[in-house]
Every structure is written in C-alpha cells, then in structure tokens.
Structure 1
Amino acid sequence: MTMVRQATNDVAGTNGIRDVVFDFCGVLLELNYRACLEGHFPQETVDTLCADEKDVYGFFAAEGRMDAGEDFTDVIEDYRNRYGDDMAAMFSFYIDHYDDALPKMVDGMEQLLIDLRKASCRVWGLTNWSDETFHFAFEKFPQLKRLLQGTVVSGTEKMHKPNADIFNLTLNRFGLEAEHTAFVDDTQANVDGASNVGITGIRFISAPETRNELRRLGVRI
C-alpha cells in the first residue's frame, strides 16, 4: 500500500505545511488489546475479540461510545444488559487497565516529532479517545506530552473524527490554517474527513513513509 496525498494544497516554499496534526493509536502509539487481556480472561474469548472484525461482543462499539463522550457508568450499564456480567467484567478491566494495552510508541514516531519541532514545524494531536482513559497516554509516555503542542480529545469535546466539527475545532483552537496543515491518521475515513475541510490528509503506513510524504509536501526534515 502506498501513501496518498488527499488534498491539492500549494506546498511550495513558504506556502507549504507549517503544522502537522497526528492521530494517536495506530500512529503515535501502538494499541494491543491482547497485552491487556491475555492471562486474565479465557483465551478463546480473547482470541475471538481480537480477531473478530464484526465485533460480536460489542466491545469496540462500547469503547466508541466513550470516545464520543459518553460516561463509562452509562456505557457499562447498557453493555452489561446486552452482553452479560462476564463480558461487562472484561470491558471494565480493559478500561481500568488501559495503559497495559499501550505497549510502546510506534517505531520512529518520537524522532519524527523531534525532527519536525527542530524544523520549526508545529505538531499537534487529534484523537478519538475517551476523556476517562486518555490520561494513560501522557502518563505512560510523558515525552509525547512534551513534544505535542496541544491535543484535542474527542471524548472531552463530545465530537469525533471523521466529522468536520472536530477538525474545525482543532484548526480554530490552535490557530491553524487548513491549507498549511497536514493530518496523519491510519484510518482512511478520518483522512478523508480532514481532506473535506481543506487539510492535507496523509494515510499512515509507517514513520519512514510519513517522513517521506512530509518531505514531498515541502517540510524540511
């Protein structure tokens, strides 16, 4: 798979990219459900949950509700009523031990942030993440908090990618100009959402490919 530039902004000279906004999980941080759940719950259940794209346990839909701003107490009540006590215990454990599902930063991304800052390119975060669990990210990876110059969290704002409102909020809050901003995400729908408001969207594949794409956009790193 190759990385595709999603917008046609003028990136020559001083009219190029001045700000880069990064998604978190899958871009800056690795997310590994198994690392959190294995050894605590039946292996068959963990295997099904981690391999099942249809989300038959409703696990990721419940997490998505929290990412969109709903409180855990409301989500878990509905979840227990639908999926039972055992699955509710599994989901509660996952939320309480969310940091165990974040094993490390994605290879090469810390250095990319450092190099962008050295090149006088500002770096920001925009993530679909629950307000109740986002603190784990900066607690476990304080270097990420130091490097990013601000982060918009969907669960805090009660709006989420790929909708235009959260991209416009990010632009306005940080004083960004869409035509001079790039957004990096591993989900195509979110990349398209950024492009729809005039931001240059980059589909994340790896740190080296992201670095090369930013160079093609005129960023001197």
Structure 2
Amino acid sequence: MKKIDTIIFDLGGVLIDWNPEYVFLDVFKGNREEMNWFFDNICTHDWNENQDAGYPIEKATKERIAKFPEFEELIRMYYGRWVEMLGGPITETVDVLDKLIKSNDYKVVALTNWSHETFPIALERFEFLHWFEGIVVSGEEKTRKPFKKIYDITLDRFNIDAENSVFIDDNLRNIEAANQLGINGIQFKNAGKLIEQLKSYNINL
C-alpha cells in the first residue's frame, strides 16, 4: 500500500448534520409514515440531488408545484425552510478533521453534493469549512457524486494521486464510485469507527 497523503471529506452526514425531518416531522405532526410518503413521492431524494447538481432551486420548485399543485405549500417549504433543516456540526468528526489538519501530514479537501445556492449559508455558519485546502461543490460544477466527472475534477484540481488518497463519505454508492477510480474509500458510520478505519491506512490520530 502506498502512503496516504490526501484525505477527502464528504460534508453532509459526515461533518454536518442536515436532515429535512427537522422541519417535516413537525409539519406532519409526528406522523413518520405520511412524511416518508411525501419524501418518496413528492420532494424525493432524486429531486433534491438534481439541485445539488446545479439545477436552479426556484425553477425546480415551480416545476414540482406544477406537477403536484395540491402540495404547493409543502413543496415551497422544502427550500423555503431549508435553513431549519441544517443542524449543527458533527463535533466528533470535526475533532478528527482538526487533528488531521494540525498534523500537517496530509492534504485535506472536501467533496460535497450541495446546491451552489444554499452552500454559502453553510460556509457562513461553519468555521471549520474554511480549514480545507479547497472544497469541490457539486452545484458549482454542474455534476455530482457518484458520477465520474466530479471525482476527476477533485483529483485534477488538487493534484491528487487516487491511490494515495482516502475518501470519507456516508453513502456507499459514492464510495463504490470512488473505488472504481482507484480512490481508497471509507464509508462513514461514526467518528470512533472512522478513527479505526483511518488506522488501517496507517493514519494515527
């Protein structure tokens, strides 16, 4: 195994707690079944990811309302109350990030699926986002994980050798796509497990 010299972090679900349930569980009066039906059929994961790939939020919202006019109020709420879906930092993982950066042994960058329209809110809210050497934001690149193009952009932009890097993401689909390009992957579960997995790459904290 070559020596790891670069760590690539996903953001949402790894360093930042974001969850639409923070808004909609209350809206649906605690009825998780109704809320999940709404996410499965109206404001779906795939629909949200389209905005992560750069599709305009206002246009996406209007199109969804045109398709499901009876759900207009709830659809507008998805991005209208987006800030309330943004939880706090996942502090244990932020501590891991802090130690990696302070060690000065690694290039540390981020690769995130995130709308370019909402990402400035996160940049303002979370100081640790300014610790990275750089961040590749899917909405700015008009593509997203797990498509090959966004990994190539990340490798090229920061002069990363794939086999000398480790990519941390909570989504197995994104890890598998990175592996196809020779990038070592760690599926994030929690900070304790992450530390153990980093040790397997001779990265000690």
For the residue of structure 2 that corresponds to 1:43, the secondary structure is coil
Contact kept, 8 Å, 2:28 with 2:34, in 1: the verdict is no
Would you tell me which structure has more strand in proportion to its own residues?
2
Is 1:76 matched with 2:51?
no
Contact kept, 8 Å, 1:67 with 1:154, in 2: the verdict is yes
Whole-Å separation in 1 of the counterparts to 2:53 and 2:176: 19
Counterpart position of 2:87: 103
Counterpart position of 2:123: 138
Greater RCO structure (CA 8 Å; 6+ sep): 1
Whole-Å separation in 2 of the counterparts to 1:21 and 1:64: 20
Counterpart position of 1:65: 50
Equivalent of 2:8 in 21, 45, 58: 21
Is 1:30 matched with 2:17?
yes
Structure 2 length-normalised TM:
0.90
Counterpart position of 2:188: 204
Contact kept, 8 Å, 2:38 with 2:44, in 1: the verdict is no
Which amino acid in 1 is paired with 2:34?
T
Structure 1: segments with no counterpart, 5+ residues: 1-9
Change over 3 Å in CA distance of 1:70–1:45 after alignment to 2: farther
Whole-Å separation in 2 of the counterparts to 1:178 and 1:147: 22
**Divergent runs of 4+, >6 A:** none
Whole-Å separation in 1 of the counterparts to 2:123 and 2:23: 18
Equivalent of 1:112 in 79, 96, 105: 96
Contact kept, 8 Å, 2:51 with 2:60, in 1: the verdict is yes
Over the residues paired in the alignment, what is the CA RMSD in angstroms? Answer: 2.0
Contact kept, 8 Å, 1:59 with 1:91, in 2: the verdict is no
Whole-Å separation in 1 of the counterparts to 2:23 and 2:121: 13
Counterpart position of 1:7: none
Whole-Å separation in 2 of the counterparts to 1:47 and 1:30: 22
Give per-residue Cα distances to partners, 1:158-193, cap 9 Å, x unaligned.
111111110010011111111111101111110001
Whole-Å separation in 2 of the counterparts to 1:53 and 1:217: 41
Change over 3 Å in CA distance of 1:174–1:112 after alignment to 2: same
Which amino acid in 2 is paired with 1:163?
F
Contact kept, 8 Å, 1:162 with 1:189, in 2: the verdict is yes
Counterpart position of 2:171: 187
Whole-Å separation in 2 of the counterparts to 1:63 and 1:17: 33
Shift of 1:47: 5.3
Change over 3 Å in CA distance of 1:154–1:45 after alignment to 2: farther
Contact kept, 8 Å, 1:95 with 1:133, in 2: the verdict is no
Which amino acid in 2 is paired with 1:66?
Q
Whole-Å separation in 2 of the counterparts to 1:174 and 1:207: 25
Is 1:48 matched with 2:34?
yes
Shift of 1:153: 0.9
Structure 2: segments with no counterpart, 5+ residues: none
Shift of 1:53: 9.2
Contact kept, 8 Å, 2:115 with 2:138, in 1: the verdict is yes
User: Which has the larger displacement, 201-210 or 29-38?
Assistant: 29-38
